[in-house]
Amino acid sequence: MKKLIFALCAIFIFTQCSKKITSDKLADSANAWRKAVPAPAPARDIELGTYSSFDLNNGLKVIVVENHKLPRVSYQLAFNHDALVEADKAGYTSIAGDLISKGTKSKTKAEIDEAIDFIGGSLNTSATGIYASSLKKHSDRLLGVMTDVLLNPAFNLEEFNKLKKKAESGLVSAKTNPEAIASNIRSRVNFGQFHPYGEVETDASLKNIELKDCVDYYNTYFKPNNAYLVIVGDITPDEARMQADKYFSSWQKGAIPSFGVPKVMNPSGTQVRFGNKDGAVQSVINISYAVDLTPGSDDVIKANLMNSVLGGGIFSGRLMQNLREKHAYTYGARSSLSSDKIKGYFNAYASVRNEVTDSSVTQFLYEMNRMVNEPVSAADLASVKTTTAGNFGRSLESPQTIANFALNIFRYNLPKDYYNQYLKKVDAVTVADIQAMAKKYIKPENCNIIVVGNKDQVAENLLKFDADGKIDFYDAYGNKIKDEKVAINENVTPAQIINDYLEALGGSKKLDGVNTVSQSAKTSLMGQDATMTTHQSRSGKFAMSIGMMGMTVQEQKFDGKKGMVAQMGNKQMIENSDELEEMKEGAKLFSQAEYLKNNAYKLELKGAENINGVSCYKVVIKDPKGAESTEFYDIKSGLLMRSVEVKGPATVTTDYKNYKAVDGIMFPFTTEVSGAFPVPLVLEVTSIEVNKTSEDVFKVE
For residue range 97-145, list pLDDT tens digits in order.
Answer: 999 999 999 999 999 999 999 999 999 999 999 999 999 999 999 999 9
* pTM for the predicted model, two decimal places: 0.83
- Predicted local confidence at residue 636, as pLDDT: 93
The size of the chain, in residues, is 701
Band of residue 7 on the pLDDT scale cut at 50, 70, 90: very low
Query: Percentage of residues in the chain with pLDDT exceeding 90?
Result: 68
- Mean pLDDT throughout 538-548? 90
Residue 395: which pLDDT band, with cuts at 50, 70 and 90? Answer: confident
Ordered structural domains, the chain, with CATH: 51-248 (3.30.830.10), 271-391+421-474 (3.30.830.10), 494-698 (2.50.20.10)
Q: Enumerate the β-bridge partners of residue 130.
A: 77, 125
pLDDT for residue 187? 97
What is the pairing mode between strands 628-634 and 614-622? antiparallel
What pLDDT does 31 receive?
57
pLDDT recorded at residue 183:
97
pLDDT at 2 exceeding the cut of 80 = no
* Band (81; pLDDT cuts 50, 70, 90): very high
Residue with the bigger pLDDT between 213 and 37: it is 213
Indicate whether 645 pLDDT > 80.
Answer: yes
User: Is the per-residue pLDDT at 25 higher than 50?
Assistant: no
- pLDDT at 551 exceeding the cut of 70: yes
Mean pLDDT lowest for which of 66-80, 114-128, 255-269, 386-400? 386-400
| Residue 527 reports pLDDT greater than 90 | no
pLDDT over 70 for what percent of the chain?
92
Q: How confident is the model at residue 484 (pLDDT cuts 50, 70, 90)?
A: low
Q: Would you place residue 528 in the very low, low, confident or very high pLDDT band (cuts 50, 70, 90)? A: confident
Least confident residue range of 98-112, 338-352, 644-658: 644-658
Q: Which of 194, 209, 200 is nearest to 92 (CA)?
A: 209
Q: Which helix (H) or strand (E) holds 347?
A: strand 344-353
Task: Tell me which of 37 and 511 has the higher pLDDT.
Answer: 511
Reported as a single tens digit per residue, the pLDDT across 614-636 is 899 999 999 988 889 999 999 99
Average pLDDT for 27-43: 52
Residue 686 scores a pLDDT above 70: yes
pLDDT in tens, 437-482: 999 999 999 999 999 999 999 999 999 999 999 999 999 999 998 8
Give yes or no for residue 11 having a pLDDT over 90.
no
Q: What is the pLDDT of residue 567?
A: 85
DSSP state at residue 173 = H
Quote the pLDDT of residue 9. 36
Q: Who's near 435: CB < 8 A, 6+ residues apart?
A: 372, 374, 375, 376
pLDDT of residue 347: 98
pLDDT of 485 reads 65
pLDDT, residue 19, reads 40
Query: 3-state secondary structure string, 587-620?
Result: HCCCCCHHHHHCCCCEEEEEEEEEECCEEEEEEE
Q: How far is CA 201 from CA 84, 171, 172, 654, in A?
A: 14, 8, 12, 21
**221 vs 21, which has greater pLDDT?**
221
Question: Residue 113: how many CB atoms within 10 A of its CB?
Answer: 15
Average pLDDT value for residue range 231-244: 96
Tell me the CA end-to-end span of the chain in Å, nearest whole number: 87
Mean pLDDT of the chain: 89
Compute φ and ψ for 411, nearest 5 degrees.
-65, -40
Residues of the chain by 3-state class (helix, strand, coil), percent to 5: 40, 30, 30
Whether pLDDT at 351 is above 60: yes
Instruction: Evaluate if residue 146 carries a pLDDT over 90.
Output: yes
Q: What is the pLDDT of residue 35?
A: 52
**What does the longest C-alpha to C-alpha distance in the chain come to?**
112
> Beta 528-537 vs 51-55: how paired, if at all?
unpaired
Least confident of 224-228, 389-393, 430-434, 514-518: 389-393
Q: Which residues contact 681 (CB under 8 A, 6 or more apart)?
A: 523, 525, 672, 673, 674
Given this model, what pLDDT does residue 681 score?
A: 86
